[in-house]
Copies of this chain bind each other. A is one copy, B any other.
């Protein structure tokens, strides 16, 4: 059982531990570190890394992918964005499409949205009951634990954005010519359900933390969010013995 988290009690925009300029500088160093760890990970092929990014619409998942992982070698890093399930995906068990995208040893895999969408979306639309939510959580725990047992380094991030900030970003998507292509009418509906989503997320944090804890990342400030994610990833990876393999010739 994970700990109970009340999202309303956690600031989406806390006082920063670092200035924006310092963070930009530190990110350069952290990116280099991550690239170096990735080289070794790829050579060693003992571990793989799975990074799950969850968060409500406009919480900055795409920007996290771009700013945290530009700089790593794309040969060792894959991104999968899970969208509304296709017809083929819907015809399978909900973990089918996820399982196919899990990383092989040596790789970093990023999930932009993930298996948790199959709790969040049907639950918000009243398509599944509490019983099934509970069952899916148990199944996800078992699935993730299996990955971890098999040397997957699993990290889960929740990008925690306020309702006000969501609305503001939605407005920008509508008016900024470079962002308008991302705008979808469904976003409005989804964003209006901020508090309902928060409740489901809180349930997930409590019931889906067996294999790896959730990192709640304040996400109102884009630069701070990206800095926190990158720091957390490098710090976590440094705990493992990731090094070039010794090869006898």
Partner-B contacts on A (CB < 8 A): 35, 43-44, 62, 65-66, 69-75, 77-79, 81, 110, 112, 174, 177-178, 180-183, 244-245, 247, 249
Q: Could you show 24 A-B contacts with beta carbons less than 8 Å apart? A: A43-B181, A44-B181, A65-B74, A65-B75, A66-B73, A66-B75, A70-B70, A70-B73, A70-B74, A71-B71, A74-B74, A74-B77, A74-B78, A75-B79, A75-B112, A78-B78, A174-B249, A178-B244, A180-B244, A180-B247, A180-B249, A181-B245, A181-B247, A183-B247
Which chain B residues border A183 with CB–CB below 8 Å? 247, 249
Whose C-beta in chain B lies nearest to the C-beta of A112? Answer: B75
Which chain B residues border A180 with CB–CB below 8 Å? 244, 247, 249
Which chain B residues border A174 with CB–CB below 8 Å? 249
Distance in angstroms between the alpha carbons of A174 and B248 in the assembled complex: 10
Which chain B residues border A112 with CB–CB below 8 Å? 75
Whose C-beta in chain B lies nearest to the C-beta of A69? Answer: B74
Distance in angstroms between the alpha carbons of A212 and B174 in the assembled complex: 39
Whose C-beta in chain B lies nearest to the C-beta of A247? Answer: B180
Tell me the minimal C-beta distance from A101 to chain B in angstroms: 12
Distance in angstroms between the alpha carbons of A183 and B245 in the assembled complex: 12
Which chain B residues border A177 with CB–CB below 8 Å? 244
Interface centre among A66, A75, A174 (most CB of B within 10 A): A75
Tell me the minimal C-beta distance from A178 to chain B in angstroms: 6
Which chain B residues border A69 with CB–CB below 8 Å? 73-74
Rank and list the top 7 A-B pairs by shortest CB-CB distance, nearest first.
A43-B181, A75-B79, A66-B73, A180-B247, A65-B75, A74-B77, A69-B74
Which chain B residues border A249 with CB–CB below 8 Å? 174, 180, 183
Distance in angstroms between the alpha carbons of A174 and B81 in the assembled complex: 39
Which chain B residues border A73 with CB–CB below 8 Å? 65-66, 69-70
Distance in angstroms between the alpha carbons of A65 and B42 in the assembled complex: 14
Whose C-beta in chain B lies nearest to the C-beta of A44? Answer: B181
Which chain B residues border A110 with CB–CB below 8 Å? 74-75
